[in-house]
Amino acid sequence: MDIVSYNVNGIRAAISKGLLNWMESRKADVYCFQETKAEASQVDLSSFELLGYKHYWFSAEKKGYSGVAIFSKKTPTNIIYGFGDKDYDKEGRIIQADFGDLTVISVYIPSGTSGEERQAYKMEWLDFFYEHIAKVAKKKPNLVVCGDYNICHQPIDIHDPVSNKNSSGFLPEEREWLSQFIDNGFTDSFRHFNKAPHQYSWWTYRAGARANNKGWRIDYCMTNAPLQTRLVDAGIEPTAMHSDHCPVWVKLK
């Protein structure tokens, strides 16, 4: 199974930049989208359906904000929208699809870049998410957690670790959380196969960052321990230009 994770930074904007043509040529089995910034009713879905994709959306209450979705060739055996918690589900940040013995989650972890209050919310959210995933993993042992984590894990994952040491997304407490998440039974599938530096999934729109590859690797396809033997390959596609992020992917037997 070929699973792609992509923060599209507004799915309607991404469509206008050629997302559908890219999907048609890419032909992934599953797309996990984040930051859709739309409800399904606001998008012409017929083009996706002509490509053979079923689609499942979990949007934020606030219009034009956040939102996640899963598009798949195969019909899931079950879909779970949100955490099941009223307060945490307002922002539309998680959706789960079960495909038989395999579970795929699309998640959009909050950013803390807008200030201290939002950073505090991010850390609170991360603790809640950690416990949620631990519960899911007990019921669904073959688990892929794809999405925009809004955290660079190691210095190799960011173009300037020294200048960004106090930046949200590379704070010690965020990196420690991600280390704990991995140590609790997950594999960073990209680093499992690729140890090379200068591999990023997000670039600011400012100062020609993308052209100069001054980026951050904040998007992941995390797989848990039971899937270790089923990992085939994983990668990043920086040539896909529909967003300030680019797609990341993992292939499983």
Which residues participate in catalysis according to the annotation? Answer: 148
Strands 143-148 and 102-108, sheet pairing:
parallel
Q: What is the DSSP string of 74-108?
A: SPPSEEEES-S-TTGGGG--EEEEEETTEEEEEEE
Q: Which of 96, 221, 202, 82 is nearest to 147 (CA)?
A: 221
d(CA 204, CA 214): 8
Q: For residue 118, what is the DSSP state?
A: H
Amino acid letter for position 110: P
d(CA 127, CA 88): 12
Question: CB 212: neighbour CB atoms within 10 A?
Answer: 10
d(CA 180, CA 136): 17
d(CA 146, CA 108): 9
Which residue matches tokens 């670039």? 203
d(CA 1, CA 101): 12
